[in-house]
Structure 1
Amino acid sequence: MQGAELRAKESCLERRSWNGTEPAWLKRWRIQSGASGFRKSQPGRSGQEARGWGALIPPPLFPPEDPQADSSISPLPHLESKIQQTHSLARLLTKYAEQLLQEYVQHQGDPFGLPGFSPPRLPVADLSAPAPGHAGLPVPERLRLDEAALAALPPLLDVVRRRQAELNPRALRLLRRLEDAARQARALGAAVEAVLAALGAETRGPQPEPAAAAAAIAAATVTAGVFPAKVLGLRVCGLYREWVSRTEADLGQLAPGGPA
């Protein structure tokens, strides 16, 4: 008798706990997640079976967000966010570029790294250091120069890596840094190009293929000898650091909290 009364009370509690009506947000969540939902109590079933599989799947703590609830939310990042992310990337790569330069010098032997050693600043085809008047140009024009330099750097860094693989085959960390630098320069250049597009700046016209200049430099380093090849690699690593640092400074003019 007591068992029958207990089952009757449980059945009564179940009917009070759910009145057969699903909230709208719960119905949407159930349809999206594939849950089967709740079933009404049926005579002769246990409490867990009567509540259905929905009783085994706890509802979310908060209703799921409706992507159409706020039309002001855009899937594309805002311009300010895009600039901030690119600036952060440039700042990080500036540190990596300094580490690459130090690593390169450590593996070249004397006189590299000695106090007072001043290697000749060899010219690099299609790439030079930022001009003295670079900082006085409008920001979009500076960013276009940054993007062009970043596009020219990856094939040059690849040339340096291949030459160092011959001269210092055991310098695995240096070789890895050079490979990473080429990939990072491409990524930063693409991010700067996206910022320029978001700013509505005019795109650059047709440019010479950087790989052609890099191929000419690679052929020249083979016949130039070991020391000139090392000096050229030092020059390329130095230019990489200068242009990444210059890009960071130029993006800082646009980043939130930067100079007006």
Structure 2
Amino acid sequence: MGYHLLAPFCLLALLLPPLPLGAPMSTAESVKQAYNLALHMQTQTSTLLQTYLQHQSTPFSDPDFSLPELKLRTLPPTAMHFENWHGLEDAVRLSLTHEAFLSFSQHLLLAIVDQSNLNPDNSMVENQLWEERLKAKGLAGNLAGIMTTLGLPTPPANPPLGTVPLGNTAFQKKCRGYVIVRDYGLWTDRVVTFLGEKEAEEGKDPFLALGRAAKGAQARHWGRQQRQGLWLEDGKVSGTHQNPGRRNSWQLSPHS
């Protein structure tokens, strides 16, 4: 095992210090731990996207490259408006966030395999993707711990990914990796804001207001959100191209 695989484990060991035996972690401590990890992830996402694009050649490496309308149907959607997101019960937002980072841990593995084939002589991008995948799995584990403490149901740790839109050409694989890395950054921004709100609730246990009804809340409606734009599906880029400079709806607010 190379250093690039050992380093993330050392990093997480620093970010997630073990508790003394017999000392159960409170919800507030769990939220703080997850928040600290999410903050660290947020400091890396911009660099990760830039590094990814720089190693994919033109047009990806061109200055100001951006295709905000390009999406993958198997990724957690990013188009929910700020007001709609904040109108959800905390239990639902927690469940959606947990599911999102489980999904990203699997999609990042797919991007790693693609990069190994696309750039076999340059492991820089592959190494960074490995580190981010480990962090995504770690954050999903932290969120699952919070949900268990609150009595919320959690899905299996390794649910099947299902069929991901595949592309046989190098360009299609690069498009897929771009969308995975970009949306991973968007979700990281969202979880930092969400956990930051909970962590800032000093003097009371975060999520204390969760009622029994919230504990049974399901977030299946999330996947039924109508989404428009370009999609990677069946190895093709389909849809109507819109203005590449138009920002994603959840980026309209700095607090989303």
* Smaller-chain TM-score bracket: 0.5 to 0.7
Which residue is equivalent to 2:173? Answer: 229
- 1 or 2, which has the higher helix percentage? 1
* Aligned residue identity for 1:180: E
Deviation at 1:152, TM superposition (A): 0.8
The answer (yes or no) to whether the contact 1:80–1:256 under 8 Å persists in 2 is no
Aligned pairs for 1:56-75 (under 5 A) are 75=23
> Amino acid of the residue matched to residue 122 of structure 1?
K
Q: Distance in 2 between matches of 1:137 and 1:203?
A: 17
TM-score by length of 2: 0.63
SS class of match (1:238) = helix
Cα offsets for 1:185-209 (capped at 9, x unmatched): 11100101111222x2521467993
Measure how far apart 1:91 and its partner are.
0.5
Query: Structure 1: which 4+ aligned runs deviate by more than 4 Å?
Result: 204-208
Return closer, same or farther for 1:105/1:162 CA change in 2, 3 Å cut-off: same
Indicate which of 118, 134, 153 corresponds to 2:85: 134
Whole-angstrom CA distance in 2 between matches of 1:161 and 1:82: 30
Instruction: Choose which of 47, 70, 94 in structure 2 pairs with 1:99.
Output: 47
The letter for the 2-side match of 1:212 is G
| Alignment map for 1:213-224 (pairs within 5 Å) | 213=163, 216-217=164-165, 220-221=166-167, 223=168
Question: In the aligned structure 1, how far is the partner of 2:177 from the partner of 2:97?
Answer: 20
Write the letter of the residue equivalent to 1:243.
W
1:184 aligns with 135
Aligned-residue CA RMSD in angstroms? Answer: 2.7
Q: Which protein is bigger by CA-based radius of gyration?
A: 1
Q: Distance in 2 between matches of 1:254 and 1:74?
A: 25
Decide whether the 8 Å contact of 1:126 with 1:210 is kept in 2. no
Any unmatched runs of 5+ in structure 1?
A: 1-66, 68-72
Alignment of 1:108-119 (within 5 A): 108-119=56-67
Return 162-171 or 119-128, whichever deviates more. Answer: 119-128
Whole-angstrom CA distance in 1 between matches of 2:62 and 2:155: 43
How far did residue 228 of structure 1 move?
Answer: 1.7
Structure 2 SS opposite 1:98: helix
CA contact (8 A) 1:130 1:243 kept: no
> 1:49-91 CA deviation, whole Å, 9 max, x = no partner?
xxxxxxxxxxxxxxxxxx9xxxxx9611222222111101110
The answer on 1:242 being equivalent to 2:171 is: no
